[in-house]
Chain A
Amino acid sequence: MDDTEEILLNLVPELRRGTLVLSVLSQLSQPMYGYSLVQELSGKGIEVETNTLYPLLRRLEKQGLVLSEWETTSNKPRKYYVRNEKGTRVFQKLKIEWSEMVRHVNILLAEEEKNG
């Protein structure tokens, strides 16, 4: 019995999960509401589940990384989120961490390819 597919089905989202905050923060230099962010990310090849993103935005707000404001002029009230100064600082740091991680993991993978 081959359960490779099933295992991957769990591992891939786990791999993505860690990069989610980085992806979201990268888009929030401009105010955006949740669903537009989902579509924006999806258009750029990053699939995020709606029911994950919405609570995540609230957590970021609670941590003081983004600000939020209700936009009620249209007939649908929407909550817009935007990165604040602290959020930008955290984003920059995360970006460096990410580059380092990619570099190191790539070294590991390159080594493996050479030896294997």
Chain B
Amino acid sequence: MDNQEYNQEYIQDQINRYVYQVSRFLVVKNKEDIEKEIRTLIDDMLETRCQGHSAAKEDLSAVLTELGKPSSLAAKYNDSKRYLIGPELFPTYLRVVKAVVIIVAAAVLLSNLVSLVTGDFLWENLSGIVGAALSAFAMVTLGFAFVEWKGLNIEDIFEETKQLPPVPVRKARIPRSDPIVGMIFSLIFIILFLTVPQYFGVWDAGSNEFVSIFNVVVIRSLALLFVIEFTVSFIKEIFRLVEGRYTIRLMVVTILCNAVNLLLMVYILRTFPIWNQNFPDQLMTIFHSMDADGLIELKLSWTFFTQHVFLWIIIFGNVIETLTCVVKTLIYGLDPKEK
């Protein structure tokens, strides 16, 4: 085979490859027609470029560069821009997918926490959260892709176009970071609290053990109640996240959740000895320096704190939070028309 012949064969092969790639990215009915046209076009362009002498590899590569990548040439032939989820739909999709993934992950986490009570909690269960969040993500994405594909108009569902919601004044807005940070910290707390309550306390270097401020056995037996407590405030935070501003709805939810939590907490604190009664004595054995008077004083303060002060703190915090929400709603959160 002489050089000339080899060259022609090479060029023909490259053209075939290019046309084949373009056709792979085409989503139109008359693919063959376009393929035929592109073939002739490449030929014409080569001819113009070479002005009589036979085409070299460099000529072909220049021509193909001018035509562009197969995928982008095909994109120009394809009728419309094709999206899995287009730019119009995307903001709504993002909003929904975030909320759904967070809620599902939270729900699975909570159900795992409940399994603590029944005793068959496994740390491996936590990987189920990732799985659940992923499938929630996939379901929402598929749903939106379907809407995009069908060209459905979901504006009416997600946007109240006829009656637009009022623009919230700055102070009526709840920054997203607020509930998210809240949820993350309460999650971490509840996990640690229910799995390793013995570490909430003072470390004794001598015996290399922790002296917990809690009665670990009682805490464990009350896991279900604490999970309920946590779930209620988690629901409230999710509501805050989705709502994004102070509204009457949010105010009602906040009052209800806080009331339930407060009643439950008061019930727990008044009924069960969740505190480590022997904490002062155990503390004494760690810090030998303490005298008898000191111990009595410590015991009195500890009893006073666990019987009264802590309860007051809980009530105080709960009431302040509820009041803040009510006041902010009434001042900033109302639709001027509703006012």
Do these two chains really belong together in a complex?
yes
> CB-CB < 8 A to B67: which residues of A?
50-51
> CB-CB < 8 A to A52: which residues of B?
76
Is the beta-carbon distance between A35 and B41 smaller than 8 angstroms?
Answer: yes
> CB-CB < 8 A to B68: which residues of A?
51
The minimal Cβ–Cβ distance linking A40 to chain B, given in whole angstroms, is 13
Is the beta-carbon distance between B40 and A51 smaller than 8 angstroms?
Answer: no
Residues of B within 8 A of A (CB): 33-34, 36-38, 40-41, 43-45, 48, 66-68, 72-73, 76-77
Name 4 extra pairs, CB < 8 A, besides A54-B37, A54-B76: A33-B40, A51-B66, A51-B76, A79-B36
Is the beta-carbon distance between B45 and A51 smaller than 8 angstroms?
Answer: no
How far does the alpha carbon of A34 sit from the alpha carbon of B44 in the complex, in Å?
Answer: 10
The minimal Cβ–Cβ distance linking A42 to chain B, given in whole angstroms, is 11
Find residues 25-70 in chain A having any chain B CB closer than 8 Å to their own CB: 33-35, 39, 49-52, 54-55, 58, 70
Residue of A nearest to B44 (CB): A35
A-B contact list, 28 entries, CB within 8 Å: A33-B40, A34-B37, A35-B40, A35-B41, A35-B44, A35-B45, A35-B48, A39-B48, A49-B66, A50-B66, A51-B66, A51-B67, A51-B68, A51-B72, A54-B37, A54-B38, A54-B76, A54-B77, A58-B77, A70-B36, A76-B40, A76-B43, A76-B44, A77-B36, A77-B40, A78-B40, A79-B33, A79-B36
Residue of B nearest to A79 (CB): B37
> CB-CB < 8 A to B41: which residues of A?
34-35, 50, 54
Is the beta-carbon distance between A50 and B40 smaller than 8 angstroms?
Answer: no
How far does the alpha carbon of A39 sit from the alpha carbon of B68 in the complex, in Å?
Answer: 19
Residues of A within 8 A of B (CB): 33-35, 39, 49-52, 54-55, 58, 70, 76-79
> CB-CB < 8 A to B44: which residues of A?
35, 76
Is the beta-carbon distance between B73 and A51 smaller than 8 angstroms?
Answer: yes
How far does the alpha carbon of A54 sit from the alpha carbon of B77 in the complex, in Å?
Answer: 8
The minimal Cβ–Cβ distance linking A67 to chain B, given in whole angstroms, is 14
The minimal Cβ–Cβ distance linking B51 to chain A, given in whole angstroms, is 13
Is the beta-carbon distance between A55 and B77 smaller than 8 angstroms?
Answer: yes
The minimal Cβ–Cβ distance linking A107 to chain B, given in whole angstroms, is 36
The minimal Cβ–Cβ distance linking A25 to chain B, given in whole angstroms, is 19
> CB-CB < 8 A to A51: which residues of B?
66-68, 72-73, 76
> CB-CB < 8 A to A70: which residues of B?
36
The minimal Cβ–Cβ distance linking A73 to chain B, given in whole angstroms, is 13
Residue of A nearest to B63 (CB): A50
How far does the alpha carbon of A39 sit from the alpha carbon of B45 in the complex, in Å?
Answer: 10
How far does the alpha carbon of A76 sit from the alpha carbon of B77 in the complex, in Å?
Answer: 22
> CB-CB < 8 A to B33: which residues of A?
79
> CB-CB < 8 A to A50: which residues of B?
41, 45, 66-67
How far does the alpha carbon of A34 sit from the alpha carbon of B43 in the complex, in Å?
Answer: 13
> CB-CB < 8 A to B66: which residues of A?
49-51
How far does the alpha carbon of A51 sit from the alpha carbon of B22 in the complex, in Å?
Answer: 12
> CB-CB < 8 A to B40: which residues of A?
33, 35, 76-79
How far does the alpha carbon of A70 sit from the alpha carbon of B40 in the complex, in Å?
Answer: 12
Interface centre among A49, A58, A70, by most B CB within 10 Å?
Answer: A58
Interface centre among B37, B45, B48, B72, by most A CB within 10 Å?
Answer: B37
Per CB-CB distance, the 3 closest pairs between chain A and chain B, nearest first, are A55-B76, A35-B44, A55-B77
How far does the alpha carbon of A114 sit from the alpha carbon of B67 in the complex, in Å?
Answer: 44
Residue of A nearest to B75 (CB): A55
The minimal Cβ–Cβ distance linking B76 to chain A, given in whole angstroms, is 4
The minimal Cβ–Cβ distance linking A62 to chain B, given in whole angstroms, is 8
Residue of B nearest to A68 (CB): B33
How far does the alpha carbon of A70 sit from the alpha carbon of B39 in the complex, in Å?
Answer: 14
How far does the alpha carbon of A33 sit from the alpha carbon of B40 in the complex, in Å?
Answer: 10
How far does the alpha carbon of A81 sit from the alpha carbon of B36 in the complex, in Å?
Answer: 15
Residue of A nearest to B69 (CB): A51
How far does the alpha carbon of A73 sit from the alpha carbon of B77 in the complex, in Å?
Answer: 26
The minimal Cβ–Cβ distance linking B88 to chain A, given in whole angstroms, is 22
The minimal Cβ–Cβ distance linking B122 to chain A, given in whole angstroms, is 57
Interface centre among B41, B68, B77, by most A CB within 10 Å?
Answer: B41
How far does the alpha carbon of A55 sit from the alpha carbon of B45 in the complex, in Å?
Answer: 17
